[in-house]
Amino acid sequence: MNECIENTGFRPRIAAFFCNWCTYGGADLAGVNRLQYPADFRVVRLPCTGRMNPEFVLHAFRQGADGVWVSGCHPGDCHYIAGNMYARRRFTMLRELLEYAGLDPGRLHFSWISSAEAEKFQRTAKDVIEAVRALGPVDAATAATKTMVMELRKVI
């Protein structure tokens, strides 16, 4: 993985929105188990992914994030019954809006990871980073996209 960073020089900035009850625990367990994964993301800890306002994602892109990762409990395991399913619906809508705004929808990732799945967290973290790295940075050429994202904010 370090070879990829050295060859491109690009380290993507990822905003990660994690459920407190599941994915955040999985990240913590990965750290306790000393599993190595990229540190190219900044975590926003949510009580539930169902509480994730779509504007959070738009704000992350406006502030220069190259990608966004949303992760919560598996279906049927949500501490708040169906919050993860609400998040999944918002995610689907957001991917369509990002494509409309001119951003590759591949910059937005969604996963379900429980607090006991440290290895899955490690794999998914690497996959998200590599997928966003392959897309390259959101650069000045996408300045129009930032304007469009601000317009989408009015729609949501």
Please write the tens of the pLDDT for every residue from 94-123. 999 888 888 899 999 999 999 999 999 999
Backbone φ and ψ of 111, nearest 5°: -150, 160
H/E element, 11: none
Instruction: Quickly state the pLDDT bin for 46 (edges 50, 70, 90).
Output: very high
The token pair that represents 50 in the structure block = 């169902």
Q: Are 70 and 44 in contact (CB under 8 A)?
A: no
CA distance 105 to 94: 8
- Enumerate domains of the chain plus CATH numbers: 2-155 (3.40.50)
Which residues make Cβ contacts (< 8 Å) with residue 16, sequence separation at least 6?
A: 41, 42, 43, 44, 68, 69, 70, 71
Bigger pLDDT: 56 vs 100: 56
Q: What is the pTM (predicted TM-score) of this model? A: 0.86
CA distance 153 to 58: 7
Please write the tens of the pLDDT for every residue from 123-142. 999 999 999 999 999 874 46
